[in-house]
Amino acid sequence: MVILVVNCGSSSVKYKLLDMQEKKELVSGLAERIGIEGSKIKHEKADGGTLKLEQNLADHKAALEKIIECLTDDEYGVVNDIAEITAVGHRVVHGGEKFNKAVLINEDVLNELESLFDLAPLHNPPNVVGIKTCQELIPHAPQVAVFDTAFHQTIPDYAFNYALPYQYYEKYGIRKYGFHGTSHKYVSGRAATMLGKPLTDLKVVVCHLGNGSSITAVKNGVSVDTTMGFTPLAGLPMGTRTGDIDPAIIPFIMEKENLQPDDISNIMNKKSGVLGVSGISSDFRDLEDAEANGNERAALALNMFIYGVKRWIGAFGAAMGGLDAVAFTGGIGENGKELREKVLTGLEYLGLEVDAEKNNIRGKEQIITKDGGAVAMVVPTNEELMIAKETEALVIK
Ligand code: ADP
């Protein structure tokens, strides 16, 4: 079975083609700057060979048509005909409270997705465009939606409600939804496999640390709490996002600086986080270099992030009544060995004792703590594989 995984953003399409029998990725690619000057596609075959195209891509349909051409290209293609694609799995950011698992897409599902546009105005509309376009261009293939929020629908009401007048939850669906669910599910599953124990017997804290970061408490295989909230702005400080701040700061700054809701939202999403604090960069490698050269604000930004991760690990240990494992994933979690060591230092009371030698790795599955006690580990995430597996499961049924 060959599955195409599609992730449509507002001006981009990320894609991967996976052969499920062979458990192999065939190709991955990215179409960028769709509808903007300078659009391009990078198409990389897993066994070598990269095709780079610079050409006008007026809309998502034009981009997906070109992607299909690449997939079936004589030299850079990996299938002879699109008929070889069994199904398409779409990453959909927001499933609201309606979707607690992946679904096969039909007319009703599409209508439901459109009714969720209010909750994810930047993400769900391009996701739906991607689905409709694939229905048109690959009509024989069933389409599946896999939601970033679905894994977190098991979070109990006392953890997902905000202490606002209850009517806002009823009227507008204001509650914690959580994101990165596909990654948290995949990584917690791999952590259990690495430990040789059933996931249903484990308490795992998954730290997905990248440009966007979130931490999830996975107890007995289900999400019981997560740091992101109504939107992906909540929780940890991130590359450019604030994370949690005292909500009273928002009207205060708006008044002082004479800002409109869009202005403050832009500041909180794009100009804050470690970029805002350091004034240097949202990229953790730049910050580590700057810190090494004595830059105090870079050091402050990194320390705030590290403290945040440490604090949430402790909080989620409390939420689950203990913890067996902490799994690090995402660009920073997988590669930032110094940062991992700093996060774990001070958590010995939880039974976590980092082993400097084992921790000296990047981007591969490995336990990084000393034997005995709780375990910390690195687990490279693979959201596309998880989307493909969920798609396969629905299509086989
Ligand atoms: P996204 O959330 O966009 O998927 P990624 O998961 O790719 O982001 O993470 C990107 C982040 O990972 C960047 O801040 C980058 O600096 C960080 N990163 C990548 N490699 C390293 C490294 N070797 N050390 C520390 N941070 C790293």
CATH number, domain containing residue 219? 3.30.420.40
Length of the chain: 397
Same domain for 260 and 332: yes
What's the pLDDT at 23?
85
Question: Residue 163 C-alpha to ligand 1 middle, in angstroms?
Answer: 34
Residue 263 among the catalytic residues: no
Same domain for 201 and 126: no
Ligand 1, closest atom to CA 285? 16
pLDDT confidence bin for 122, thresholds 50/70/90: confident
The predicted model gives 158-180 an average pLDDT of: 98
Nearest C-alpha to atom 3 of ligand 1 is from which residue?
211
Tokens 């990320």 identify what position? 14
User: Looking at the predicted structure, is the pLDDT value of residue 328 above 90?
Assistant: yes
Same domain for 276 and 203: yes
Q: Estimate the share of the chain in helix, then strand, then coil, as percent rounded to the nearest 5.
A: 40, 20, 40
Q: What is the residue range of 330's domain?
A: 197-378
The predicted model gives 292-305 an average pLDDT of: 98
Distance, CA of 121 to chain centre: 17
- Give the alpha-carbon dihedral of 114, 118, 121, 127, to 10 degrees: -20
Q: Of 88, 116, 147, which closes a domain?
A: 147
Tell me the percentage of the chain whose pLDDT exceeds 90: 96
Same domain for 222 and 88: no
The predicted model gives 275-293 an average pLDDT of: 97
19 in Cβ contact with 2 (< 8 Å): yes
Which carries the bigger pLDDT value, residue 202 or residue 121?
A: 202
Q: Of 106, 131, 147, which closes a domain?
A: 147
The predicted model gives 269-290 an average pLDDT of: 97
Within a domain: residue 371? yes
Count: domains in the chain: 2
CA nearest 328: which of 148, 179, 196, 191?
191
Within a domain: residue 188? no
The predicted model gives 247-269 an average pLDDT of: 97
- Both tokens of 354, joined, read 């980092």
The predicted model gives 321-348 an average pLDDT of: 97
Question: Residue 110 C-alpha to ligand 1 middle, in angstroms?
Answer: 33
The secondary structure of 25-78 as a DSSP string is EEEEEEEESTTSTT-EEEEEETTS-EEEEE----SHHHHHHHHHHHHT-TTT-S
Ligand 1, closest atom to CA 211? 2
Cα distance between residue 21 and residue 397, in whole Å: 16
Within a domain: residue 157? no
pLDDT confidence bin for 142, thresholds 50/70/90: very high
Name residues whose C-beta falls within 8 Å of residue 289's C-beta, 6 or more positions apart in sequence.
none
Q: Which of these is catalytic: 148, 157, 225, 371?
A: 148
Tell me the percentage of the chain whose pLDDT exceeds 70: 100
330: Cβ below 6 Å to ligand 1?
yes
Within a domain: residue 396? no
Same domain for 220 and 100: no
Backbone angles phi, psi at 126, to 5 degrees: -65, -30
363: Cβ below 6 Å to ligand 1?
no
Same domain for 214 and 131: no
User: Looking at the predicted structure, is the pLDDT value of residue 397 above 80?
Assistant: no
What DSSP element (H or E) covers 32?
strand 24-32
Same domain for 85 and 208: no
Question: Residue 238 C-alpha to ligand 1 middle, in angstroms?
Answer: 11
Within a domain: residue 159? no
**What amino acid occupies position 168?**
Y
Same domain for 313 and 231: yes
User: Looking at the predicted structure, is the pLDDT value of residue 156 above 90?
Assistant: yes
| 52-80 per-position pLDDT tens digit | 999 999 999 999 999 999 999 999 999 99
56 in Cβ contact with 112 (< 8 Å): no
User: Looking at the predicted structure, is the pLDDT value of residue 158 above 80?
Assistant: yes
